[in-house]
Amino acid sequence: MTDCIFCKIVSGDIQGNIVYRDEQTTAFRDINPAAPTHILIVPNKHIDSVNMLIVDDEPLIGHMFTTAKNIAAQEGIAENGYRLIINTNADAGQTVFHIHLHLLGGAPMKNPMG
Ligand code: 5GP
Ligand code: ZN
């Protein structure tokens, strides 16, 4: 996707504060952090949202969660805890239409789930 900001971070076309990458995923710090640690884990291939997932994507989505777990440990927030969020479409406030897993932690969460 040529006009997708997260595809451009994955490809290196624009600067991202990348904390981890492998063949399937890239993880980078959110530009507008909502917590002391706020990292986005994205698939390297473009998928608009959870609504566009297919069965073949299941290993990839599982890998995103394992990646999040490893990064939480790397960031030193695994023990105290963290929150993983995927927003889908308008009611959830999705603003970037390249699926991404938010990893939030580093302080007790204040906001309610909904
Ligand atoms: P959403 O609201 O779609 O779930 O989350 C999109 C997230 O992407 C937001 O937290 C926003 O701060 C972050 N974001 C938007 N543009 C950029 C960017 O260019 N670089 C980085 N690192 N994060 C971005
Ligand atoms: Zn994309």
State the chain's mean pLDDT as an integer: 96
Model pLDDT, residue 110: 85
Q: How far is the CA of 30 from the centre of ligand 1 (A)?
A: 6
Active site residue 46: no
Q: How far is the CA of 11 from the centre of ligand 2 (A)?
A: 10
Q: What is the pLDDT of residues 32-66, one digit of tens each?
A: 999 999 999 999 999 999 999 999 999 999 999 99
Q: What is the dihedral of CA 52, 58, 63, 69, to 10 degrees?
A: 80
Percent of the chain with pLDDT over 70: 98
Q: Give the pairing type, strands 82-85 and 25-29.
A: unpaired
Q: Does the beta carbon of 30 lie inside 6 Å of ligand 1?
A: yes
Q: What is the dihedral of CA 63, 33, 91, 78, to 10 degrees?
A: 40
Tokens at 74, concatenated: 């790397």
**What's the length of the chain?**
114
pLDDT of residue 113 exceeding 90: no
- The distance from CA 86 to its chain's CA centroid, rounded to whole angstroms, is 8
Model pLDDT, residue 111: 77
Q: Does the beta carbon of 52 lie inside 6 Å of ligand 1?
A: no
Give me the mean pLDDT over the 89-107 stretch: 97
pLDDT of residue 1 exceeding 90: no
pLDDT of residue 5 exceeding 90: yes
Q: Using CA atoms, how far apart are residues 28 and 39, in angstroms rounded to an integer? A: 5
Model pLDDT, residue 114: 62
The amino acid sitting at 25 is T
